[in-house]
């Protein structure tokens, strides 16, 4: 299975930086003390990718006869499947929100 790489595709989600002439307002917190949306999304996708790799290894070990524990193999596959389906639902909601925002701007 190919690795999921997203860091280059998430640059647009990080928003404008200091190099674009925008600075943080002085006084008080700006509400952006935590990780950015792009960082959170990239971390989540990396975790899903890790679960997919673990499931692939578990399947290969089972098929090769290195392990006879079908239960652990099925749990790894189930975790990877659930994480992938959740990721797809989040993706669908993001696309839906983007399309709604584009409709309101017209």
DSSP string, 9-77: TSGGGG---GGGT--PPSSS--S--S--HHHHHHHHHHHHHHHHHHHHHHHHHHHHTS---HHHHHHHH
Query: Which of these ranges, 9-18, 38-47, 93-102, has the smallest mean pLDDT?
Result: 9-18
pTM of this structure: 0.66
- pLDDT bracket for residue 103 (50, 70, 90): very high
pLDDT of residue 44: 94
Of 45, 62, 55, the residue nearest 79 (C-alpha): 55
- The domain segmentation of the chain, as residue ranges, is 33-105
Phi-psi label, residue 103: left if phi above 0, alpha if psi -120 to 50, beta otherwise: alpha
What's the pLDDT tens digit per position in 15-46? 555 544 444 445 445 566 888 988 999 999 99
């Amino acid at each position: 299975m190919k690795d999921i790489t997203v860091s280059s595709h998430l640059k647009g989600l990080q928003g404008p930086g200091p190099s674009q002439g925008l600075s943080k307002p002085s006084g008080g917190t700006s509400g952006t003390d935590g990780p950015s949306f792009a960082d959170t999304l990239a971390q989540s996708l990396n975790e899903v990718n890790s679960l997919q790799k673990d499931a692939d290894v578990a399947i290969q070990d089972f098929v090769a006869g290195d392990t006879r524990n079908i239960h652990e193999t099925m749990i790894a596959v189930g975790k990877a499947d659930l994480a992938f389906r959740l990721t797809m639902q989040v993706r669908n909601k993001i696309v839906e929100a983007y399309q709604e925002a584009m409709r309101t701007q017209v």
